[in-house]
Structure 1
Amino acid sequence: MTVEQEADAPPSSPGKMSVPTLTAMVVGSMVGAGVFSLPARFGVATGILGSLIAWAIAGTGMLMLAFVFQNLAIRKPELDSGVFIYAKAGFGDYAGFTSAIGFWASAIAGNTFYWVFISATLGAFFEGFGDGDTVLAALLGSLGVWFFHTLIARGVRDAAVINRIVTICKIVPIVVFVVVLFVNFDAGVFADNWTAYGYGELGGLDEQVRNTMIITTFVFIGIEGASVYSRYARRREDVGRATVLGFLSVLCLFALVTLSSYSVLPQPELADTRQPSMIGVFQSVVGDWGQTFISVGVVVSVLGAYLAWTLMAAEVMYIPARNSDFPRFLGREDHRGTPITALVVTSLAVQALLAATLVLTDALNFMLDLSTVLALLPYFLAAAYALKLGLTGESYEGVTPRTRRKETIVAGVATAYTLFLFDAAGFEFVVLCTLILAPATLLYVKARSESGRRIFTPTELALFALILVGAVVAGVGLWTGRITI
């Protein structure tokens, strides 16, 4: 911001978030458990060349998505209710509802993943936690869920400030990891890891890159963090700035973590490193103290991300309820202004998934994949809405044709990228998402009935029928064993 802009800026309102705070929400939302699993997740899939291509594709696609959120914040400043509102504005009430539910369910699966990940980290020190899927692990997670529930119930603003502080603290061990590994750079290991073909068959380069898409998407979930909190921003344009600043910072950090890991360990050893794999990689370079150092970073980072995601999940239930898109009871506040009913439902949902981890085959990876695929729905609909605006010219009055053309291309690339991610995720997880969306539609029916509105338009009825068919396919697949979880 220039001096002149600063002078003209309105005074900040009490309780409003600045660009640094909004940026911290974006960084805090993305830098969670995913970054600590990058070395092994990339090591099992590809070498250095494949990882560079993967980060280039993911970075470009997600940067386009970041620009989409930035452009939408400028073109549609009145849409300040979070990422789901773009789907509603562009494609109708039911599309907006599915976007909100998809985002909320993604946060629930992601938060469950965080508790499993913390327990898996502790499993390196205490056998009772195993890989995060034991009774002791579920108990620890349950205690954590309700501790954070109490913390957030004290006020959304207080929790947001804590998140900013935690974001700064958790970046330190990641930066130390990168610096120490590059100081111990082994040119021979790095050269052998360039394609990693000498270690065995990883498949073609295209297959290697495809196999990294889920993890690269998971670590970037949260890019919309500032958008979700747009109603707290001091200025509407700050939302777009915070989104892009947060994304670029995190992209550089994630790519450096991956490349530095390839500089000290051969690809097979990276692939076999126990999750969270940053711990084992760092320990192999500095010794046993490295295990404790990174483990502390994992716990702090994951707890900070859990805080941010619980805040966003509650907001995404609360705001639609206030707009009559969700049932009214989800829009209740307590005396502090906290969306208390939405927060309770969110905490109960995480608690239920924690119980489910006791019977899942691979709880850690299942929750990661499910969270990623569910997040793709609101991302796709937001990008598609931006593309629709560009093609129709809506909201571009008085804007130069060059600007409109540029933003339309950005939205088109972002839309294509999210569609590619659906394909990379695979049919199994896509239909599992419909198994969540179909019963959740009962909330939509209740909300419409409360306000006396028509339930479905013909187009929305067709969309619901498609979701219902997917849910039936998923249910039959689970029953027959063709789909395993």
Structure 2
Amino acid sequence: MSTDTRPADRTGRTDGTRLGVVALTGVVVGSMVGAGIFSIPQNMAAGPAAPGALLVGWAVTGVGMLALALTFQFLGRRAADTHGGLYGYARDGFGPMPATLVAWGYWISAWLGDLAYLVLIFSTLGLFWEVFGDGTTWVSTLGGTVVLWGYAALLLRGVRDASAVNVVVTVAKLVPILVFLVVGVMAFDPAVFTVDLWGRQEDLGPVFDQVRAMMLVTVWAFLGIEGATVFARRARRDGDVGRATVMGFALVLTLLVAVNLLAAGILTRPELADLQDPSLAGVLEAVVGRWGAVLISVGLLVSVGGAFLAWQLLCAEILASTARAGGLPRMLGEEPRPGVPRRAILLTTAVLQVALVWAHFRGAAYYDVILMSGSMMLVPYLVSSLYALRLAARGGGGGGTAVVFTGVSTVYALWLLYAGGLSYLLMSSVFYAVGLVAHAWTRREQGRPVLRGWEVALAAGIVVAAGWAAVGLLTGGLQV
């Protein structure tokens, strides 16, 4: 049940906080273009993946992610609640408990991504000033705290203000990437690209294994493709959400493929694998000298800063919109000022603060955190795809074409679960078990039964998996 009593337009969106297609596209691009594109050359090469496997892997990823983007566009037009986002899709397709878990998993993924960004920001500064180290020193933790609460202050000014800043930052951070693309086209050497096209000289193994390894990296690179759906309630027009999702996907895919393939034609795979992240800096430095590395490093800081803002926006809106829809405690949906879910913002910031201190003592690496963040998004992607496939199969619009791309999206989501591996799936169950507590709190607040029918079996399965994960962590049998 919504607690929002402000005047609404005929589409159900509250007045004064509506976003256009440009702002929504900025959210999508800002969410996806973070650190991944700056480290993609080394990550793919270290997979390992030879240039030929890159071509195959990007083709598979392009098809799968395009199907996922089209699925979100379809849901934005045809779902029973086009303004409900991932929570609304799961609720209408599978009921209240799975819906709350989907929103919860999405929120966990978002703030884990923010944690990775904070660590990476100060790790990058550590390349120039040793005091910041790998991004987890006390100085870095204190710096991260200042950044974290500074962004919280920006968000407390209003979602529209922060969205406008995100559009500006998104444009600014693309400049170093465009410089690399221009230089890369001129420096690209076909002989370097084809010297060991399929990795046979290095004995990298079957192409299938190489493709599977690189796809684990692309999961993180494309997180945020659903970003515009979170702000569906604030969109000026229903169609803007779908257009922003597809436009953002097309732009990011083009940039990722171009950067990866051009780098593979400038340095050989072993040379790329030995680079320090942000590896794009090393590639550009090999062509133009030291200034290229500095440019990319500055671009990375701007990019990660913008992505951090985008994901903070998503975190707050995930909690607030879910609470207003009755999926989380109602206090998280309250807005003392229009467009400012204060408690959702403060809760996210507080959780991130604790996680930041934990990262200092744990020495958590950027790569480990992003894999966990990606793992938490796989279930929301699968549930959304299944709901879309059911709608399309029942004649919900789009005809046979909709059945095809929602079917491909579902298969691709299952493939990502397989690629992620059992360890991360078990760790995800620990977070989802905490989500069950949030669900129980909400249902009791509403005076409704906590679980219904098959939800009991699902909850039991999550608790068992979480227990398995806990035992594995304590005994050392589970490594993540």
Pick the TM interval, shorter chain. over 0.9
Is 1:60 matched up with 2:55? no
How big is the shift at 1:193?
A: 4.5
Q: Distance in 2 between matches of 1:447 and 1:217?
A: 31
Aligned to 2:246, which of 205, 230, 244? 244
2:175 aligned residue: 172
Matches within 5 A, 1:386-397: 386-393=388-395, 395-396=396-397
Contact 2:136 2:363 (C-alpha < 8 Å) held by counterparts = no
**Do the aligned partners of 1:18 and 1:238 also contact (CA within 8 Å) in 2?**
yes
Conserved 8 A contact 1:120-1:276: no
Partner SS for 1:83 = helix
Partner of 2:6: none
Residue 287 of structure 2: SS of its match in structure 1? helix
* Mapped contact 1:77–1:236 kept (Cα < 8 A): no
1:125 aligned residue: 128
Answering whether residue 31 of structure 2 is matched by residue 23 of structure 1, we say: no
Matched with 2:479 is: 484
Query: What amino acid sits opposite 1:60 in the alignment?
Result: V
Deviation at 1:93, TM superposition (A): 0.4
Shift of 1:275: 1.2
The SS at the match of 1:279 is helix
Counterpart check, 1:204 vs 2:199: no
**How far apart, in 1, do the equivalents of 2:212 and 2:110 lie?**
24
Residue range with higher mean Cα deviation, 133-142 or 221-230: 133-142
Match of 1:74 among 60, 67, 77: 77
Q: 2:440 aligns with which of 442, 445, 470?
A: 445
Corresponding residue number in structure 2 for 1:37: 39
Identify the match of residue 224 of structure 2 among 214, 222, 225.
Answer: 222
**CA distance, structure 2, for counterparts of residue 269 and residue 129 of structure 1:** 27
Q: Which is worse superposed, 332-341 or 458-467? A: 332-341
| Contact 2:51–2:197 (CA under 8 A) maintained in structure 1 | yes
2:215 partner amino acid: M
Structure 2: gaps spanning 5 or more residues = 1-13
Give the match for residue 401 of structure 2: 406
2:3 alignment counterpart? none
The RMSD of aligned alpha carbons is: 1.5
Residues 338-417 of structure 1 correspond to what in structure 2 (within 5 A)? 338-360=340-362, 362-393=364-395, 395-396=396-397, 403-417=398-412
- Paired residue type of 2:319: M
Which residue of 268, 276, 279 maps to 1:277?
279
Deviations 1:379-421 (A, max 9, x none): 111100001112233x34xxxxxx4221011111101101100
Equivalent position amino acid for 2:272 in 1: L
Aligned-pair CA distance for 1:340:
0.6
Contact 1:85–1:96 (Cα < 8 Å) also in 2: yes
Moved more, 469-478 or 322-331: 322-331
8 Å Cα contact 1:193-1:262 kept in structure 2: no
3-state SS of the aligned residue for 2:136?
coil
What is the deviation of 1:455? 0.6
Shift of 1:337: 3.5
Contact 1:432 1:471 in 2 (8 A): yes
SS at match of 1:458: coil
Q: Contact 1:154/1:336 (CA < 8 Å) preserved in 2?
A: no
Aligned partner of 2:460 in structure 1 is 465
Task: Give 1:161 shift.
Answer: 0.5
Is residue 2:254 matched to residue 1:259? no
Counterpart check, 1:145 vs 2:148: yes
Return the offset for 1:253.
Answer: 0.5
- Asked if structure 2 preserves the Cα contact closer than 8 Å seen for 1:109 and 1:370, the reply is yes
The one-letter code sitting in structure 1 at the alignment partner of 2:299 is: G
Between Structure 1 and Structure 2, how many residues are aligned?
Answer: 466
Task: Give the partner amino acid of 2:27.
Answer: M
Q: Determine if contact 2:17/2:338 at 8 Å carries over to the other structure.
A: no
Give the aligned residue type for 1:57: V
Cα deviation, residue 318, structure 1: 0.7
> Any unmatched runs of 5+ in structure 1?
1-11, 397-402
Deviation at 1:13, TM superposition (A): 7.0
Q: Secondary structure of 2:454's match?
A: helix
CA distance in 2, matches of 1:137, 1:211: 31
The answer to whether the Cα contact below 8 Å between 2:81 and 2:89 also exists between their aligned partners in 1 is: no
Is 1:106 aligned with 2:109? yes
Per-residue deviation, 1:336: 4.6
* Distance in 1 of aligned mates of 2:363 and 2:478: 12
**Separation in 2, partners of 1:358, 1:473:** 26
Q: Deviation of residue 453 (structure 1)?
A: 0.5
CA contact (8 A) 1:54 1:209 kept: yes
* Other structure's SS at 1:452 match: coil
8 Å contact kept, 2:32–2:223: yes
- The answer to whether the Cα contact below 8 Å between 2:17 and 2:159 also exists between their aligned partners in 1 is no
